[in-house]
Amino acid sequence: MGKGGFGLVFQGKYKGADVAVKEPHDPEALHEEEALKKSFFREAKNLYRLSHRNVVALVGGIVSDDCGDPCYMMVTELLPQSLQKEMEILQELDGEERCKRQDRLMIELAEGLAYLHSAGIIHKDIKSQNVMVDTSGSPKYIDFGLCKQEQVTTSTASTRLAGTLYWMSPERKRGGAASAKSDVYSLGLLLVYMLTMAKLPEGEE
């Protein structure tokens, strides 16, 4: 279905339902790299305790195959459409219908982020590529590998920029800590692109 910095995403079936399976490029390397393992388990742990219409739903995770070899696969609900594709479809609609669907997307993205922050989660990587749209037209945040608990994230600033530079707030680009405010800044930038119907930038890691 797609690929990213972590690995490949495949479509699969689980108990009769379509699911998305995210598999790392190199499971052995992930198994040996403590930071990557922590990212995997952090994403699984956070998705397990989150439940909201605008957050991707976790189905399960697999850390080893039948032979005992590491695989580190994440299984979530299948989200068939990217935000970029949804915006392309909106551009073909008449003004009233386009505005109606555009407003829904933006409101639900704000509600989803408010829910994450109420749960003490800082996403840290809000961008167009980390929003998918389900079959009912609701946007959902994905990719929680960088997210942090709020009390941990705001206490110290990291010397390493984790996330996508284009969508970062000014303070994060200067090396400051991620916070709810920096998430809101990134969302605001995303909403500007949605309002103007501009082509969403890919950004640079």
> Which amino acids are annotated catalytic?
125
What's the Rg (C-alpha) of the chain?
Answer: 17
Distance CA 181, CA 61 (A): 31
On whether the CB atoms of residues 60 and 40 are closer than 8 A, the answer is: no
C-alpha dihedral (163, 185, 99, 86), degrees to nearest 10:
0
How many CB atoms lie under 10 A from the CB of residue 170? Answer: 9
Query: Taking Cα atoms as reference points, which of 143, 121, 140, 122 lies closest to residue 132?
Result: 140
Query: Taking Cα atoms as reference points, which of 31, 55, 18, 19 lies closest to residue 144?
Result: 55
